[in-house]
Amino acid sequence: MQHSHEALDRPGGLSGGHLLTPLRHRDFRVLWAGMAISLLGDGIFLIAIAWESYTLWNAPAALSIVGIGMAVPTVLFLLAGGIVSDRHDRRLVMMWADGVRALAVAVLAVLVIANSLRFWELVALVAVYGVGTAFFTPAFEAVVPDLLPAEDLPAANSLDQFVRPIALRLAGPFLGGALVAGGAGLAFGVDAASFGASFIAVAAIRPRVPARDETNASALVAVKEGLRFIRKRVWLWGTLGSAAIAYLVFLGPTEVLLPYMVKNDLGASSLTLGFVFAAGGLGAVGSAVWMGSRGQPRRHISSMYGTWTLATLAVAGYGLATAAWQLMLACMLFNGLETAGTIVWATVKQRHVPSAMLGRVSSLDWLISIGLLPVSFALTAPVAAAIGVRATLVGAAVVGATVTLGALFLPGMREIEKGDEAQLAHRVVPGAVRPSSSEL
């Protein structure tokens, strides 16, 4: 759907070295060639799906229902996706997921071009798309550390957060706005082709099958291990829990009501919506470059929550805007700040979650964080009808920011950053005491 949902938790980090260093590794280079094209298609999809939804039914409830149709299957299958990605060749998991999504979007393109698409068919096809996403996301997040040595991982993460917003939030939406102006069917067709490019790239990397002892565990045991790992770490369960509540409050309204405002309040075209999303891409790219040049913040948890709180407050700008340039500014602020926090979060997760468990933790991360997203979509239309579109967006920003900031003050939330500071001091100062494993 909209930019924020697509980029909530991707592998992202901070590099003190050269951004292009990871590309010397053949498998990573091939994977990212395909992913860059696929992300461009995803950006096109953001515009096409929103515009087609309101073409079929010009009411906030339309995109709310489409959002529910995509989010529910994703939530339901995320755990399965995480378990499968930890048990089997992650390359094959991603290939199957890409194939499923390519087929769904290709059918969508044919129906739109034939002028025979019905609203229920749109919902059904995005549900299939959502199932594919549930399997692809944890597999991709877990495979990146498999392709690179540990010393190149931060540079790869910074490269991710530089390339991803350029394709997904800047070039993709801009191109999507232009393509939709000529017909949404063409836009969906280009997106389907982009999955083909990703499929070919993933197929070209070497298979990597998880260790045998991991694959012998039952699915239930695997899930319990992931939950146990999260439950013992405040920085994990506190962040996921607060994200679930915050996203319940503000994510549905932003994804549903921003395209509605562009189309109805401003009376603008799909190209204008593309410009708004592209402005968010500029903010995200600038944030990635700035964060990459600064390196990992010492107080990373505090920094992460501070930027996420400000990002959520920026959502109020959508409700207060009366012109397209104001929406663009709000979108730029939201995405820039959201990216800064996500970079820190994903880096912390990669450094403190064992590789053998990263697929399950990533799937649980998504499951818990966006588990209430279908409810958010369902509530958006009636709340907007009751208090108005603009009041809904402003209220969502204020409540969401309050919840986000409040999580920072959970007991033990910032212990992990204290442990990392102690480790840094140990490396710099001879004789310093290394923190115990329980602190991490």
What span, in angstroms and rounded, lies between the C-alpha atoms of 329 and 275?
Answer: 11
Neighbours of 322 (CB within 10 A): 11
Q: What is the pLDDT of residue 10?
A: 40
Q: Measured between alpha carbons, how far is 426 from 436 in angstroms, rounded to an integer?
A: 12
Mean pLDDT, consecutive 10-residue segments, the chain of 440 residues?
43 50 87 90 91 89 89 87 83 94 96 94 95 89 80 73 82 89 92 93 80 54 83 91 93 91 88 89 85 75 94 96 94 92 82 78 78 89 93 96 95 80 45 32
Spell 5-35 as b/e; 16+ CB within 10 A means b.
bbbbbbbbbbbeeebebbbeeebbebbbbbb
Q: How far apart are CA 66 and CA 59, in angstroms?
A: 12
Residue with tokens 């994990």: 236
Pair of tokens at residue 386: 């009751």
Position 433 in a domain: no
H or E element in which residue 420 lies: helix 415-428
Residue-number span of the structural domain to which 163 is assigned: 3-409
**What CATH code is carried by the domain that includes residue 204?**
1.20.1250.20
Q: Which two tokens stand for residue 131?
A: 């199932």
At 19 the pLDDT is: 67
Rounded distance between C-alpha atoms, residue 379 and residue 125, angstroms: 22
Q: What is the pLDDT of residue 292?
A: 67
> Using only C-alpha atoms, what is the Rg of the chain?
21
pLDDT at 13: 40
Position 386 scores a pLDDT of 93
Structure tokens at 156: 């790869």
- Looking at the domain assignment, is residue 420 inside a domain? no
pLDDT for 436 equals 33
| pLDDT of the residue at 326 | 95
In a domain, 247, yes or no: yes
The pLDDT value recorded for residue 424 is 44
The two three-digit tokens of residue 18, written as one number: 């050269």
Map residue 88 onto helix, strand or coil: coil
Q: Is residue 428 part of a domain?
A: no
The verdict on residue 417 lying in a domain is no
DSSP 102: H
Number of domains into which the chain is organized: 1
Identify whether the C-beta of residue 404 lies closer than 8 Å to the C-beta of residue 312.
yes
Instruction: With respect to residue 425, please indicate whether it lies within any of the assigned structural domains.
Output: no
The answer to whether residue 438 is domain-embedded is no
b/e burial code for range 42-77 (CB count within 10 A of at least 16 → b): bbbbbbbbbbbbbbbeeebbbbbbbbbbbbbbbbbb
